[in-house]
Structure 1
Amino acid sequence: MHARAGIIHAAAHLFIGFVVILALIYGRAVLLPLALAAFLAFILTPIVSWLAQLRFPRPAAVAVVMAAFIALTLLASAVFSSQVLELTGSLSTYRNNISEKLRSFSGSSTHTIALKRAADAIDGLRHEFQAQIPKASPDDPIRVVVEKESAAGFSGILSALQSTLGPLEAMALTLLYASVLLTEHYDIVDRLVRLAGANYITESTAALYEAGSRISRLFLSQAVINSAFGLFIGIALWLLGIPNGPLWGMSVAVLRFIPWFGVVLGAGPPILLAAAITPHWELVYAVLGLFAGGEFVLSHVIEPRALGRHTGLSPLAVIAAASFWSVVWGPVGVVLSAPLTVALVVLGDYVPALKFLSLLLGDRAPLSPAQEYYRRLLSGDSAAAVERFEHTIEGRSPVDAADLMVLPALRLAANDYRDDRVSAAKAQELAETMEDFQDIILNAFTDERRETPPSSADRAPCVVLPAHGPVDRMAAFFTAFMLSHFSHARATAIRENSGMMALSSLKKEEPPETIDTILLVSVGGVAQTHMRLLARRAAADFPQSRILVCDWGDAPAEIEAERGLPERIVRCESLSQASRLLAYAYSARKSEPPAPATPPNAASAPVKRSVA
């Protein structure tokens, strides 16, 4: 029954998506100007709001901003048209230089053979087409077809006017939409909030204003950056002697709204023109270096500081969005693909039903560092796990990185093992992958990244006991590994047993006076009574040892100190805290006169917990 309901639900979603796509295609005449107007409104909203803060009435501020935008658009159109006409008239003068480039390209024997094969292939195709066309004999009658005269009169004039005024009509409709969106901004927001429901005014208002501010800031910053880059390209090309520099500057400013591919499309014509106006290659290299260097500085230096991040889209989303919107709305859809998709991603951040959009299209990490590390452990890829660990360790110590990523991943494994999603055999595979992971990071980290280990005589002897189950044994072995190599402790782990059996085996194998500290480690959410009983039993069996209770599960147990032993049972909230407590013991051993043998408890010496 549930499976059938799920199939019906999925089919309903597919049908709705199909209807939306059809509406986008067949409603292009109305929706495309509306999308352009919304894009324009997002860019101009901060300017209108700034004028409104200067005590301008909002309609007057909208009128001033729209008038300035129309004037700039007309000026840019006039410059663009004149540059295109000038370029068209001068193309014929570059024919000799292009021929010289082809001759220099075909100078080597390899290039000559390749060009000759291409020419022979084209010639062969031409002969093949001619052979397929039947030749007319002299006796064949000549057919005379009289075509009807094209429409004339009033209907022809209307057709000509429609083809001429179509773009102007779309532009006027876009400007009208943008003016209404800017003027009726608050009314439209109120209607959207009411549509979301009167009981959700706080949430919907916060979502709309945060989404609007993010998109407006992103689009306005992108428009300013692209315009400045287009101005720079136009001036630089003019200084290099490339004709029609303003044309290429405006082209790259518009095309750069297409992530990644926009600069490539904008750089193509100037590079070809540089190859046409001179018989040498130096100018081509200069133009290529200009675009490559400018885009590198812009995308890696200026944009990260101005925008904080890029478009917020994953690489796959950029390509898929450009392909989809080009099919739906043509070349204009390609330019609008990034803004429209960013709007969908922002919408998915606030609407739970559309959360999948931000997950599929956004550039945020789909998994947390711990989840990503755990997935690599499940796949048995220890090298990838090390790579993820090294990425997390940037700016942190190895112990802090383990608190942030490895121990939470082991908590996930413990939960899966408790819920029977991980079998005993799979847990053994996880343990083997963890061992490989530890061997790799031990060899990968340089001596500068680890603390200098003291001599064995000075290092605090420490034993790590797992509380319960195979995952706790993994956690205990990893804890002993980290403490031995990245702290002032000489740690060993009990791996064969856990809980009370581990304590019994430890009591048989080691004299109590030789153990300085016992760590009781659990990442599986062991019951409070079990951890309390285990801590009291360890304190009773090893009266001269300190007991560090390391319950790192999802719901850590509250361990109360045994009466009469307030400083021997200490609760550790993280591996870094345990490392610092052991470092205190090491410093106490070396101090003169000797410091107290026991470190302060959690109440007297609180240690800040690493926050993921």
Structure 2
Amino acid sequence: MARARNSVSPLLTLVALVVAIAALHLAKEILLPLALAILISFLLTPLANRIERLGLGRVFSVISVVGVTFLVLGVLGYIVTGQLIELGVQLPSHRERLIAKVQQIKPESRVLEGITKTLEDVESAMKQDRPGGDRTDQGQTKATGDEPQPDDAESKDPDKPASPPPSPVDELRAHGVQVGGETSWLGDLERYFRSSTVQKEQDAAASDAGPPPVAPVPVEIVGTPASPLRQVLNWLGPLASPLATAGVAVVLVIFIMLKREDQRNRLLLLFGSTHLHATTEALTDITERVSRYLRMQFLINAGYGLAVGLGMYLIGVPNAVMWGVLSFSLRFLPYIGPWLSAIMPLFISIATSEGWTQPILVVVWFTILELIVNNVAEPLLYGRSTGVSGVGVIVAAVFWTWVWGPIGLVLAMPLTVCVVVMARYIPGLRFLTVLLGDEPAMSDQERVYQRLLAGDVLEARKLLLERLKVSSLAEVYDQVLLPALTFAEGDRHAGLLHEEQEDAIEETARDLVEDLGEAAEAKHREALEADPEEAIAVAAGERATNLRVLCIPLRDEADETSALMLKQLLDAEGIAVEMPAAEALTGELVDWIVSLKIDVAVISVLPPLPTRSSRLLCRRLRERYAELPILVGFWTEEPPEEVGRQLCAGDGEVIGTLAAMVERIQVLATHPRIAEKVG
């Protein structure tokens, strides 16, 4: 049952996430104003609290802060809209100048001319394809008065009516008969014959061809002019949704700020009284992180927008106020905002300026501002991290833009901070903290062990040497390398490592210890060269310390490696150390105490716990040498008392770190009995 329950849990988490994402998308019209209102209340609540502390009341403080804030936003929006309209009217007049500058960049290129000509050809073809054709082209022949004359081919066209046959009067004239004038009876007869013949031919042609074609008449459809109310509705249509969202957000901001304690208590009750402690910590963490982030981002963006507006005014770019306001607004967009705020005024400066000086100054000004903001202002003002990694910010920006559109991009960072902080306190969502959070995915000791498993000695050495730059050699051993070897010992005892991996890890660990020892010695020499007085004091201390220590590896090569680390640290302190092999027998170790004149015996043990062999060795040493100090190094942070009893059964002292072991041996060196013997 437990296994089935564990296998179902990830599936339920996945289903819950899918349902939550679908709900976020479908309920966008409701959740978007609510999210805006909550984040704006985070930003405005500190100011309202300060006004309320002056004794002006909560209602007045909230209404005044919210009213002034949205009034300022409305005025800035009105100014930007007016300047945008002005820019749209003036921009076409700079078309030729912009084309000329593009040609200056690449004068031999005809791409721009080709594009322009192609667009003109397309426009001409569209005009010719319209029904009725082009009226100007239709009337061109009449306007010129040059009517084409038919040629021989056209005169033989069968579709054209034939010439009328000769009349009797024409035949008389053809035979040389003189016919009287137009007023004679023969003239009347001629006209009669001609008119009757032509009329008959026209009637016959009309009966064969049907009714005469009617010339097309152009028709233009003219709509009824819209009423003033309809015109206003058409103008407000695209603005209806943003205005409605803003209006709902304003109302929600007011009510959230007026009843913030009540809303907080209801949210705590929603998670249950049994989780009151965790919920309180989560809400406090979210409030501090989001409030600080929004306040600092507002200050940074406001200063950035002011600097942009002032710079554009001094450089001479038109509509400087608009560029300042847009830069302030666009910097709320992660990553793409600063680029957009710089590209638009740069394009306008190219289009409106005579030369290239102004665009170059714009690029230089934005570069200086970005360097100052990214390297000075943001680290100074943001202080503690928001808890979201760089990759997490990009993923969040894409996700919230997909869910809620452009407004989601603005809200991406604050919302992601809330999600990451809440995921720390909800076990089922802990993976979101791992994926999106800025905490290291693995600790240094885990990274070193993973690199040892992968056979990547170079990266393991690089990590340890980087840590050595900011820590002592004992700290590097205690906090990184010994825990990594403990992981290896645990996997080895569990049968998870094959023989080749065991040999490679043991050999690599010894090489790393030698490299770290040499690096620490070089670091120590550099420090002494920088401070000669310290060098003299260290040399005197080394000459005065003649203690002899026997460092015994208990079981295997892993214990031998840890003993080698301790030997390095003691050698650096001027303490003589003897270290037998791990295969040495207990009897041999007992005899070494006398032959080598040992003052302190140290047993090096790397977890997991070897109870029997360590107790046996401690008892043999204590039976033979009652006054000999016996120290057991069980290399964990804080070994419990029960572990000490299991390791030495009261015959020795258990110590958990190499640094503490070195300090303890130095203290023993000052013991009167040992000091007298050493002296």
> Aligned partners of 2:647, 2:419: CA distance in 1, in Å?
54
1:482-561 pair list within 5 angstroms? 482-484=569-571, 486-491=572-577, 493-497=579-583, 501=584, 503-504=586-587, 506=589, 512-527=595-610, 530-538=613-621, 546-553=629-636, 555-556=639-640, 557-558=643-644
One of 560, 563, 568 as aligned partner of 1:476: 563
Which residue of structure 1 aligns with residue 295 of structure 2?
A: 220
Q: Which amino acid aligns with 2:634?
A: D
Which residue of structure 1 aligns with residue 421 of structure 2?
A: 346
1:433 corresponds to 2:433: no
> Aligned partners of 2:576, 2:120: CA distance in 1, in Å?
83
Which residue of structure 1 aligns with residue 522 of structure 2?
A: 447
Q: Which amino acid aligns with 2:620?
A: R
Which residue of structure 2 aligns with residue 27 of structure 1?
A: 27
Q: Which has the larger radius of gyration?
A: 2
Deviation at 1:340, TM superposition (A): 1.1
CA offsets 1:47-86 (integer angstroms, 9 cap, x no match): 2222333333222221111111122111211222233233
Which residue of structure 2 aligns with residue 244 of structure 1?
A: 319
Deviation at 1:192, TM superposition (A): 1.1
In structure 2, stretches of 5+ residues that fail to align are 133-215, 529-537
> Aligned partners of 1:150, 1:370: CA distance in 2, in Å?
79
CA offsets 1:268-306 (integer angstroms, 9 cap, x no match): 223333434445544444333333332333233232232
Residues 287 and 136 of structure 1, relative CA distance in 2, 3 Å threshold: closer
SS at match of 1:199: helix
SS at match of 2:603: strand
> Aligned partners of 1:436, 1:126: CA distance in 2, in Å?
75
Deviation at 1:165, TM superposition (A): 3.1
CA offsets 1:193-245 (integer angstroms, 9 cap, x no match): 11111333344234323322332122122212221222122212222223222
Kept in 2, the 8 Å contact 1:413–1:471? The answer is no
Percent of pairs identical after alignment? 26
TM-score (normalizing by structure 1): 0.80
> Aligned partners of 1:3, 1:67: CA distance in 2, in Å?
57
Residues 578 and 30 of structure 1, relative CA distance in 2, 3 Å threshold: same
1:86 corresponds to 2:80: no
One of 656, 663, 674 as aligned partner of 1:573: 656
Kept in 2, the 8 Å contact 1:522–1:553? The answer is no
Kept in 2, the 8 Å contact 1:467–1:521? The answer is yes
> Aligned partners of 2:659, 2:332: CA distance in 1, in Å?
46
Which deviates more from structure 2 when the two are superposed, residues 40-49 or residues 392-401? 392-401
> Aligned partners of 1:308, 1:184: CA distance in 2, in Å?
30
One of 425, 450, 471 as aligned partner of 1:396: 471
1:296 corresponds to 2:379: no
Residues 512 and 240 of structure 1, relative CA distance in 2, 3 Å threshold: farther
> Aligned partners of 2:78, 2:594: CA distance in 1, in Å?
93
In structure 1, stretches of 5+ residues that fail to align are 600-612
> Aligned partners of 1:463, 1:127: CA distance in 2, in Å?
96
Residues 536 and 242 of structure 1, relative CA distance in 2, 3 Å threshold: farther
Which residue of structure 2 aligns with residue 604 of structure 1?
A: none
1:124-523 pair list within 5 angstroms? 160=234, 161-278=236-353, 280-442=355-517, 444=519, 447-449=522-524, 461-484=548-571, 486-491=572-577, 493-497=579-583, 501=584, 503-504=586-587, 506=589, 512-523=595-606
> Aligned partners of 2:610, 2:647: CA distance in 1, in Å?
17
Residues 17 and 561 of structure 1, relative CA distance in 2, 3 Å threshold: closer
Which residue of structure 1 aligns with residue 40 of structure 2?
A: 40
Deviation at 1:440, TM superposition (A): 4.1
Residues 323 and 472 of structure 1, relative CA distance in 2, 3 Å threshold: same
TM-score (normalizing by structure 2): 0.73
CA offsets 1:379-429 (integer angstroms, 9 cap, x no match): 222222233224433443222232222222233333333333344543322
Kept in 1, the 8 Å contact 2:317–2:345? The answer is yes
Q: Which amino acid aligns with 1:234?
A: G
Which residue of structure 1 aligns with residue 195 of structure 2?
A: none
> Aligned partners of 1:328, 1:539: CA distance in 2, in Å?
72
Which residue of structure 1 aligns with residue 155 of structure 2?
A: none
Q: Which amino acid aligns with 1:348?
A: A
Kept in 1, the 8 Å contact 2:553–2:581? The answer is yes
> Aligned partners of 1:28, 1:334: CA distance in 2, in Å?
14
Residues 86 and 537 of structure 1, relative CA distance in 2, 3 Å threshold: farther
Deviation at 1:101, TM superposition (A): 3.4
Number of residue pairs the alignment of both structures matches: 579
Kept in 2, the 8 Å contact 1:466–1:521? The answer is yes
Which residue of structure 1 aligns with residue 211 of structure 2?
A: none
Q: Which amino acid aligns with 1:235?
A: L
> Aligned partners of 1:476, 1:597: CA distance in 2, in Å?
25
